[in-house]
Amino acid sequence: MKKFLAIFLVLVMVLAMVSVAGAEGEKKLRFLMPNATHGFMAGAIQAAQENLQAGLADNPGVDVLLITGADAVQQNNQLDELITEEGIHTIVLWPHNGDDLRSGAQKVIDAGINLVVFDRLIPDIEPVSEVDMDNWEYGASSARFLNEFFADRLAAGETIRILEFKGDLSTASSVRTDGFMADKHENIEIVQAFSTNWQRAASMDFMQSFLIDSPQDVVESIDAIFTHDGEITLGIYDAMQDYNGPASLDNLKAIAGMGSDVDSVALTPALMETFGITHRIVFVSPAVTAWGVAVGFDVVNGKEVPAQVKIGYIEITVDNYQEFLDNPERLTEQDVKY
């Protein structure tokens, strides 16, 4: 499996740097993304490449190129290079971190190039359009779920103690946290938060350390967990399965957070059967890059696009998860409308 993943990621990186050659004078559309550090991003890169290629059928006068970057420094350098390239009409930018790309993004705008910002928003600039996964709502809806799940205890004045497993320090994660904090009940308390870099292994390590190093009464006081991604939840589950310490995990009753593949959906019955935990997922497919590609093509063609496009989600709970396990293609169906 590791060998297959390595080959897949290499293939994705190669595809990401392949331009579709066109006649001289064609308008150029460029899509800049973070590189594949985890499964969601690898799938998003593949989906963006496929959508760019497919879009050429209806946009024969456009030259497209997908470019990935290892970090914000490399992305800023890539923007500098594109500014000097002849014929660049539109850049769709998925930044590693919005704050770190503000200067580079402003240079693009100042150069008269159309800029579409995807997902991790950039403060204090005015792009043609912001197309983002609705990270605020993803966090806020998770908070509302926990408010309802623990409604009786909260109404009785009890404090609900939770752990938060963040993706990273990017604006995508910070906005999810802000949305959660804005909508959570005042008696829901985040005991500890971890930044996992979206990694299953890192999430497992953090959860193991918490279970092993924390006092028994602290471990047993945790009521729920809020996670920023399905891979993170899988890592938490791995750690819980391996744990054989003195603390009971019976008090942990709910995990609310994001998911992006079939494995995260399949975890729902496993959590219930193994630990009695209710799992609620804000499901967002890696194929969401289709929105960024669609807006990019429309901008190149001179069409009017909204200043903001919010990408929704599928809610998956203990009541409907089986429908998606029986028909996994429903998880990747994308009806791109804005």
Cα–Cα distance, 122 to 235 (Å, whole number): 30
Cα–Cα distance, 17 to 326 (Å, whole number): 36
Radius of gyration of the chain (CA): 21
* The residue type at 2: K
Cα–Cα distance, 219 to 223 (Å, whole number): 9
Q: Same fold for the domain at 2-132+285-311 and the one at 135-283?
A: yes
First to last CA, the chain: 38
- 228-249 pLDDT, tens digit per residue, is 999 999 999 999 999 999 999 9
Does residue 7 register a pLDDT over 80?
A: no
Cα–Cα distance, 333 to 196 (Å, whole number): 28
DSSP string, 250-302: TT--EEEEEE-SHHHHHHHHHHHHHH--EEEEEE--GGGHHHHHHHHHHHHTT
- 11-20 pLDDT, tens digit per residue, is 344 344 433 3
Cα–Cα distance, 334 to 316 (Å, whole number): 16
- 253-312 pLDDT, tens digit per residue, is 999 999 999 999 999 999 999 999 999 999 999 999 999 999 999 999 999 999 999 998
| CA distances for 5 relative to 70, 137, 158, 285, angstroms | 18, 31, 46, 19
The CB density around residue 47, as the number of other CB atoms within 10 Å, is 20
Going by their DSSP bridges, the two strands 88-93 and 114-118 should be labelled as: parallel
CATH of 2-132+285-311, picked from 3.30.300.30, 3.40.50.720, 3.60.10.10, 3.40.50.2300, is 3.40.50.2300
Buried b (16+ CB within 10 A) or exposed e, 268-295: beebeeebebbbbbbbbbbbbbbbbbbb
The mean pLDDT of 74-93, rounded to a whole number, is 96
CATH superfamily of 135-283: Response regulator (3.40.50.2300)
Whole-prediction pTM? 0.85
In the chain, domain spans: 2-132+285-311, 135-283
